[in-house]
């Protein structure tokens, strides 16, 4: 595995920041808040950078808890 560069971390930080502002802000305030949190959290960014590039997408990360939210809403 190659070492993570600062450029990669900043690129991912920018991606999540833009996702929050441009894609999620009007449609999902929860996802917008989560994306802002990811963009501000070096540890989460570092963990995401360990994944292959196609697996770093916000929709994949934020989609995982959806069944948990549905189960909680039903209970």
Task: Please report whether residue 1 resides in a domain.
Answer: no
* φ, ψ dihedrals at 45, nearest 5°: -60, -40
Distance CA 21, CA 24 (A): 6
Number of domains into which the chain is organized? 1
pLDDT digits (tens, 9 = 90+) for 4-21: 567 898 999 999 999 999
Task: Please report whether residue 66 resides in a domain.
Answer: yes
Distance CA 31, CA 3 (A): 29
Which parts of the chain register pLDDT below 70?
Answer: 1-5, 65-75
Residue 62 near residue 31 (C-beta atoms within 8 A): yes
Kindly tell me the sign of the dihedral angle through the C-alpha atoms of 44, 46, 51, 57: positive
Residue 30 domain boundaries: 6-74
Give pTM, 2 decimals: 0.78
Task: Please report whether residue 22 resides in a domain.
Answer: yes
């Amino acid at each position: 595995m190659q070492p993570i560069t600062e450029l990669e971390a900043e690129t991912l930080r920018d991606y999540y920041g833009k996702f929050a502002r441009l894609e999620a802000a009007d449609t999902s305030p929860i996802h917008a808040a989560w994306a802002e949190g990811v963009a501000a959290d070096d540890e989460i960014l570092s963990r995401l950078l360990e994944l292959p590039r196609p697996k770093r997408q916000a929709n994949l990360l934020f989609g995982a808890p959806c069944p948990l939210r549905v189960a909680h809403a039903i209970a």
